[in-house]
Amino acid sequence: MAQLFSLADCEVIGFDLDHTLCRYNLVESARLIYDSFAQYMVKERGYDKELLNVSPESWDFCCKGLVLDMEEGNFLKLAEDGTVLRASHGTKHMTSEEIVETYGRREWRHFKTMSGMVSRSAKYYAYDNYFDLPGALLCARIVDGLNKPGSRRKYDFWKDMVAAIQHNYKTSAFKENYGTYFPEVKSNPGKYIQCCPDSVKKWLRKLKDSGKILLLITSSHSDYCRLICEHTLGNDFADLFDVVITNALKPGFFSQIPNQRPFRTLENDEEQEALLALDKPGWYSQGNSTHLYELLKKMTGRLEPKVVYFGDSMHSDIFSAHHYSNWETVLILEELQGDHVMVPTETESEPLEKKGKYEGHHPKALHSVSKQWGSFFVDTISGKEDVEDTSVNTWSCKCVSSYSTITIPSIEAIADLPLDYKFNRFSSNSSITAGYYPKPPRSFLSSGEPMTTK
């Protein structure tokens, strides 16, 4: 495989929406997501109302790459070989002795079933995007509550979390003003959604004018997609994209066979009849990558058009597009920005009733380094006796280099580059830092370890 990658070589450029083209105010959106789940768990499922109160320090728990071991109520940070590097029971840090007592030689038994698929099951859940992280904090605090004297210790709360997610994010929730999340975003989108930088808008137009076919593929429902895109890109956003696919239900969009996931037309944001195939550009719902690729062949006049897809979720976007569709992939990973982020403050004009219990308190910027969990990319594992601690790559880091072509902190980071700019790509015989643009994570450089792929 060539060591260089260029957008100029791709006939089709596809984008996820949330946390990819649309950037959120992470501090505000994290509070809202957490609150939407916590209110349901307390009011509808009878959990401790203390869950509704979140201290500023609690947000340090949020870290991409954690895996919830549902059987034990433990959160794990894993090395690329499945070794448990750090762990917590609920939010409580576990010592090395406690990890060994629970996991023997620090080997997590489900790793082999997860590592090849970046998947989720009834026994574990991997947290890989910013919509997930507030739920991780809530689950950890639920475990804390279940461990209190006199409380149940069976960790069977996951079914309630799934119900909370379905309550707030069902496809009709936006239209019906149902749940907590959508009504709040609809009433104040600017509080949660950032406007797209002019450089990115110009870059998208430049791609379009150069003859590229642009796709928007999002699991958000069409009405929410429209709100986000109008706020982010402007009222004429649809002119930028040849094909818009909403409610794509990723990763199934990539992994399911066509007759299990047909495309559907839309009328007033309501899904209509199923389509046996796609025969023209337009706005569709659900669907599958196989039928989409057949349309792209017709649109490009090529037998094997080259597609690149930008996304932020390793599970739903990057692994799936790479593994099932053999597309090039660009991972949006804000952790590359380190902790150089200002935490926004409340405006003086905001009414007190809007400030609520968070007044004067702010969670950390969610892509700064967690004190509890350390670097997303590397960590150390204690040696035995006189052997020094060893720096190792995390499982999350391994996924980045295995499944993404390149990884960038935001689209804005490449918007001013010429379209034929040649990026160094991740590949099996290159440095593990090769595919990061504009530069590798600082934690690689500070670890002192030679970072090569195995």
Q: Which residues are catalytic?
A: 16, 18
The 3-state DSSP class for residue 151 equals: coil
CA dist., res. 451 & res. 428, Å (int) = 12
Q: CA distances (Å), 338 to each of 333, 368, 440, 442, in order?
A: 10, 5, 11, 8
The answer to whether 41 touches 54, Cβ cutoff 8 Å, is: no
CA dist., res. 425 & res. 407, Å (int) = 9
DSSP state, residue 193? B
Q: CA distances (Å), 369 to each of 152, 202, 366, 441, in order?
A: 33, 32, 8, 11
Query: Which contacts qualify for 152-155: CB closer than 8 Å, 24 or more apart?
Result: 155/70, 155/71, 155/72, 155/73
The answer to whether 70 touches 139, Cβ cutoff 8 Å, is: no
Q: Is 179 left (phi over 0), alpha (psi -120 to 50) or beta?
A: left
The answer to whether 242 touches 215, Cβ cutoff 8 Å, is: yes
438 prior amide bond cis, ω within 30: yes
CA dist., res. 90 & res. 74, Å (int) = 6
Pairing of strands 328-332, 307-311: parallel
The answer to whether 401 touches 441, Cβ cutoff 8 Å, is: no
The answer to whether 229 touches 17, Cβ cutoff 8 Å, is: yes
Q: At what angle do helices 133-146 and 158-169 cross, to 10 degrees?
A: 140
386 residue type, one letter? D
DSSP-assigned letters across all residues of 366-412: TTSPBTTTB-SSEEEE--STTPPPEEEEBHHHHHHHHH-SEEES-GG
Query: What is the greatest pairwise CA distance in the chain?
Result: 69
The answer to whether 375 touches 79, Cβ cutoff 8 Å, is: no
CA angle in degrees (0–180, nearest 5) for 275-280-281: 110
Paired with 266 in beta bridges are 271
410 residue type, one letter? S
CA dist., res. 299 & res. 403, Å (int) = 27
